[in-house]
Amino acid sequence: MRRVSLSVNGDQHELELEPRELLVYVLRERLGLTGATVGCDTSSCGSCTVLLDGESVKSCTVLGVQADGHRITTIEGLAENGALHPLQESFRTHHALQCGYCTPGMVMAAVSLLAENPRPSEAEIRHALEGNLCRCTGYQNIVRAIEAVA
Amino acid sequence: MVAPIELEIGEAIGAPVERKEDHKLLVGQAQWVDNMRVPGMAYMAVVRSPYAHARITRVDVAPALAHADVVAAYSAADLQEEWAGSLPCAWLPTEDTKAPPHLPLAADKARYVGDGVAVVVASSRAAAEDAAELVEVEYEPLPAIVDPEAALAEGAPLVHDELGTNRCYTWRLDAGEVDALFDEAEVIVRGRFRQNRLIPTAIEPRAVLVQPLPANGEFTMWSTTQVPHIARVTLSGVLGIPEAKLRVIAPDVGGGFGSKLNVYAEEALALGLARRLGRAIKWTEGRSEGYLATIHGRDQWQEIELAANADGKISAVRARVVAAMGAYLQLVTPGIPLLGAWLYAGAYDVQGYSFECTGVFTHTTPTDAYRGAGRPEATYAIERAVDALAAKLGKDPVEVRRLNFIREFPNAIAAGLTIDSGDYDAGLDLALGTAGYKELRTEQAERRAKGDPKRLGIGLSTYVEMCGLAPSKILGAIRYSAGGWDTATIRCLPTGTVQVLTGVSPHGQGHETTWSQIAADLLGYDVDEIEVLHGDTAVVPLGMDTYGSRSLAVGGVALYFAAERIVAKARLIAAHKLGVEPSQVDYVRGRFTGPEDSIALKDIALAAWTAHDLPDGVEPGLEASFVYDPPNFSWPSGAHLAVVEVDTETGNVEVLRYIAVDDVGTVVNPLIVDGQIHGGIAQGIAQALFEEAVYDDDGNLLTGNMVSYLVPSAPDLPSYELDRTETPSPTNPLGVKGVGETGAIASPAAVINAVCDALAADGVTDIQMPATPERVWRALEEAKR
């Protein structure tokens, strides 16, 4: 077991973690933050995407102990004072989600994209989402939702 | 019973209302089964066979039991007494369909890679999975068979020895003088097509949590299921638990596409272990585990023949299908290819029709429903064959389609059912207009003329499908074990809001929004004043759940009729309050108006609740239910057009444009309808170009994870150009048809027709799905020889 200090959505957590615990399970099972979901076991689907120091990572490919001392933002930490983040709002108005299982990861990937590239083209948006799979929407409305905020 | 009042459709039906479901999903507050934890919960892991076919000679769970965190571990033999029956198959299409036993764990033989042979329960998921690897199983590997045609051959390894054959059933449908029509035909075209095996891949893996209440013999099961009602009635039989003691809840469910229209071994195991151990049991599927243990779709060989005259008018269709069942029959495995049985003549008017399907056991994961289920296959065969006919006659595929379209509705088709409504020319006109068909053909010719290695291809798919499953009488006639009705209850609460209880069970489709729109429209409430409850057998009335694009066309229509009953009863109370006869009271959207005065439905709801002053014989409360059994299927149709670019040097196919014009009857929410079509098209393009579950000859799944099985991502897919025509279904008062599967039904044919069109001048006539760069390149090389 190793002592780890995590800042998650602005809250400080001191945890004793097994070295093998993946960040996504630390978030889901230790901290009760079940917004990030697990859709695969090969780092393919991106449902578990969160921000690590502001950049998107797949939290199934980060060990909890690797996140020691870092700042993590999950979908639960995106809305401010009860107001949805513009991307969350845009996903709703553009019907960019159906079952919603991939949505937290998709939104976090989009947040990261726009932080790096505030005016992406459609092709750039599609390329940036390559690591986030959605089985319901066919992606079109997700792309539109991101374009509308960009 | 009070006579119902026919209701007018208003403005909430048809409005692009933003979904009520979205907020919680967008802020990470969804209730997935995998999120849930209850006191005393232990985790289950399943030990699975690494062999497709093997005799199990020894199972020793002792090494797993020695693990410090393990609670229990069992072989199949240890759990034998838990099972009162086999896992269910609800559709044995012929009297002699072979339905071998299918218990939650395999005892004597493993019959596919992934077949469960033992189970471990531990205090954590990690410990359960670690300990599962400690279970010692000795196998005696045997030869396996994975191709359904090869499995029919003499001497092929048998999946179930006791059957003496791998043939599960043969089902036939013959109508008209088919042989005579073929004898008279001036032109006959034949096609042989492969329906690639697909893995549904809902992004939420399956999960189940069972909490027992041993003192009362009660069980609550949360499951990632499309079918909580069907799960309850069937699992009560598998476990021998009285149906009333089992509560099944489908909370938020992350997509299904048919893969969660099933009753799985792991659900039965979790129930059985919760009963045996007296504690809560949870299981969550790993994705790679799910690729073995959750049903697959398609896996068929198809042969189709068209008889036509020299103009291209088709007189008869003959189709023969060999369909893989996999190693066991799951919930509706044998029936899936038969859902296309009536559609191999597509949208075309023919006199003779013959269809035969043989279901075959193979040493593979069981097949079952995957989006479209039987109808994408039928549509693919006929649409590819019509293009082949056009090519043979040197005609434009548009012309041949127009020559053969059904134009009179309702239309009793040769196959024996009746299409409700449609206007196939209108859809095709719109699609061609949007595409700029003539200009595309010009560009195609120009590219060919200048020897552009990137060929342009244009592919059509003018489909009709049958959904809205289904009239119970017809289901009975085709030997399905349950009915096709569904239920709605409307409960007008005294404080101005409404609960709608529905027997269908959404998993991403947005039913809470759509049902709210219907109830709000008919009863004069705001959409936000309606709360829709679903997916909990202890809360909602008995229903038949969600699959086959049935929810709106059956459950939504039930809601309409329940609203009629609410209004009829409320009118009696309104008349009493207004001091007039009921016949003097008009109803328009939430308000009853008499000769002098009016009163709101909401006020009637309060008056019915206080019950201080009701007319004689009127029960207190304002609540009504309706169970609706549809008199016919519903028949969406449309015209899809794909424009592709095929690189003859690399074999790569790019979908440049995708145009879809669909007629799904009345549209309740255009946002949701378009979203359904988008998603269906994406899955259909995926079948055409990307996805294929591949087994080697020993029955190993070579595409056993998301790295090797190619689910397309955003850059792989185009933007879709959607339009619609609307011929309301005359079968129901809402005029709705169903939209869940149209995209997946129409699109594989449109894409492959486009690919073959692009390469027609190169001599390529067919490419097997998925049309990967390698397959395209090989087809071109072959054509050069």
DSSP helix/strand/coil, A9 = coil
CB contact under 8 A, B706 and A42: yes
Is the pLDDT score of B1 beyond 70? no
Chain A nearest C-alpha distance from B777 (Å): 25
CB contact under 8 A, A36 and B287: no
Spell out a b/e string for A31-66, using b for 16 or more CB atoms within 10 Å of the CB, else e.
bebbbbbbbbbbebbbbbbbbbeeebbbbbebbbbe
Residue A133: its chain B contacts at CB < 8 A?
A: 203, 706, 711, 713
Question: Which chain A residue shows the shortest CA-CA distance from B511?
Answer: A98
A2-76: CATH architecture: Roll (3.10)
Under CATH, which number does the domain B373-468+633-784 receive? 3.30.365.10
Chain A nearest C-alpha distance from B21 (Å): 9
Instruction: Select from A44, A45, A132 the least CA-distant residue to A91.
Output: A132
**Mutant choice from A8, A29, A31, A40 vs B, greatest count of B C-beta within 10 A:** A40
Question: Which chain B residue shows the shortest CA-CA distance from A103?
Answer: B26
Is the pLDDT score of B747 beyond 60? yes
Q: How many CB pairs under 8 A join A and B?
A: 170
**Mutant choice from B203, B252, B507, B706 vs A, greatest count of A C-beta within 10 A:** B203
pLDDT band for position B6 (cuts 50, 70, 90): confident
The pLDDT value recorded for residue B723 is: 98
- What topology is assigned to B22-30+485-628 in CATH? Aldehyde Oxidoreductase; domain 4 (3.30.365)
> What tens digit of pLDDT does each residue of B634-655 get?
999 999 999 999 999 999 999 9
**B653 Cβ partners below 8 Å, 6+ apart?**
B644, B645, B646, B647, B689, B751, B755, B771, B773, B776
Q: Where are the domains of chain A?
A: 2-76, 86-149
Chain A nearest C-alpha distance from B660 (Å): 14
Residue B670: its chain A contacts at CB < 8 A?
A: none
Under CATH, which number does the domain A86-149 receive? 1.10.150.120
CB contact under 8 A, A34 and B28: yes
Residue A93: its chain B contacts at CB < 8 A?
A: 18
> What tens digit of pLDDT does each residue of B223-247 get?
999 999 999 999 999 999 999 999 9
Q: Considering only residues 68 to 127 of chain A, which have any Cβ-Cβ distance to chain B shorter than 8 Å?
A: 74-76, 78-79, 84, 88, 91-93, 95, 97-104, 107, 122-123, 125-127
CB contact under 8 A, B705 and A40: yes
Rg of the Cα atoms in chain A: 15
Residue B674: its chain A contacts at CB < 8 A?
A: 95
CB contact under 8 A, A34 and B507: no
Is the pLDDT score of A129 beyond 70? yes
Q: Which residue's structure tokens are 């578990």?
A: A48
CB contact under 8 A, B25 and A95: no
ipTM, interface predicted TM-score of the complex: 0.99
**Mutant choice from B22, B226, B284, B513 vs A, greatest count of A C-beta within 10 A:** B22
Residue A95: its chain B contacts at CB < 8 A?
A: 18-19, 671-672, 674-675
CA distance B378 to B341: 7
Starting at the edge strand found earlier in the chain, the sheet holding B352-361 runs B167-175, B352-361, B314-326, B300-308, B187-195
The pLDDT value recorded for residue A82 is: 86
Please state, for a pLDDT cut of 70, what percent of chain A lies above it.
Answer: 100
Instruction: Select from B729, B584, B745 the least CA-distant residue to B676.
Output: B745
**Mutant choice from A22, A75, A87, A95 vs B, greatest count of B C-beta within 10 A:** A95
CB contact under 8 A, A138 and B682: yes
Q: For chain B, first and last CA: distance in Å?
A: 76
CB contact under 8 A, B674 and A95: yes
Q: How many helices (H) and strands (E) are present in chain A, helices listed first?
A: 5, 5
Single-letter amino acid, residue B402: R
The pLDDT value recorded for residue B2 is: 63
pLDDT band for position B5 (cuts 50, 70, 90): confident
CA distance B231 to B221: 10
**Mutant choice from A27, A72, A101, A106 vs B, greatest count of B C-beta within 10 A:** A101
Q: Which two tokens stand for residue B98?
A: 């072979």
Chain B nearest C-alpha distance from A24 (Å): 12
> What tens digit of pLDDT does each residue of B330-385 get?
999 999 999 999 999 999 999 999 999 999 999 999 999 999 999 999 999 999 99
CB contact under 8 A, B706 and A95: no
Residue B703: its chain A contacts at CB < 8 A?
A: none
CB contact under 8 A, A100 and B19: no
Structural class in CATH, domain B33-142+205-253+260-293: alpha beta
Question: Which chain A residue shows the shortest CA-CA distance from B508?
Answer: A99
- Closest residue to B203, CB basis, from A34, A102, A139: A102
pLDDT band for position B3 (cuts 50, 70, 90): low
Do B22-30+485-628 and B373-468+633-784 fold alike per CATH? yes
- Closest residue to A139, CB basis, from B22, B201, B682: B682
CB contact under 8 A, B23 and A75: no
> What tens digit of pLDDT does each residue of B190-229 get?
999 999 999 999 999 999 999 999 999 999 999 999 999 9
Adjacent-strand bridge partners of B119: B46, B74
CB contact under 8 A, A35 and B28: yes
CA distance B374 to B749: 14
Instruction: Select from B77, B80, B209, B74 the least CA-distant residue to B131.
Output: B74
Please state, for a pLDDT cut of 90, what percent of chain B lies above it.
Answer: 98
Residue A20: its chain B contacts at CB < 8 A?
A: 126
- Closest residue to A40, CB basis, from B23, B26, B706: B706
Starting at the edge strand found earlier in the chain, the sheet holding A2-8 runs A11-17, A2-8, A71-73, A49-52, A55-58
pTM equals 0.98
A19 part of contact set with chain B, CB < 8 Å: no
**B188 Cβ partners below 8 Å, 6+ apart?**
B182, B305, B306, B307, B308
- Closest residue to B678, CB basis, from A34, A107, A140: A140
Residue A40: its chain B contacts at CB < 8 A?
A: 287-288, 705-706
Q: Which two tokens stand for residue B518?
A: 């219907």
CB contact under 8 A, A41 and B671: no
Residue A33: its chain B contacts at CB < 8 A?
A: 28
Mean pLDDT, chain B, integer: 97
Q: Which residue's structure tokens are 């794909």?
A: B642
Adjacent-strand bridge partners of B316: B307, B352
Helix axes A140-149, B670-689, angle to 10 degrees: 120
CB contact under 8 A, A101 and B204: yes
CB contact under 8 A, A137 and B678: yes
Q: Which two tokens stand for residue B11?
A: 């403005």
CA distance B680 to B660: 11
Question: Which chain A residue shows the shortest CA-CA distance from B721?
Answer: A140
Residue A125: its chain B contacts at CB < 8 A?
A: 714
> What tens digit of pLDDT does each residue of B107-163 get?
999 999 999 999 999 999 999 999 999 999 999 999 999 999 999 999 999 999 999
CA distance B202 to B32: 13
Q: Where are the domains of chain B?
A: 22-30+485-628, 33-142+205-253+260-293, 373-468+633-784
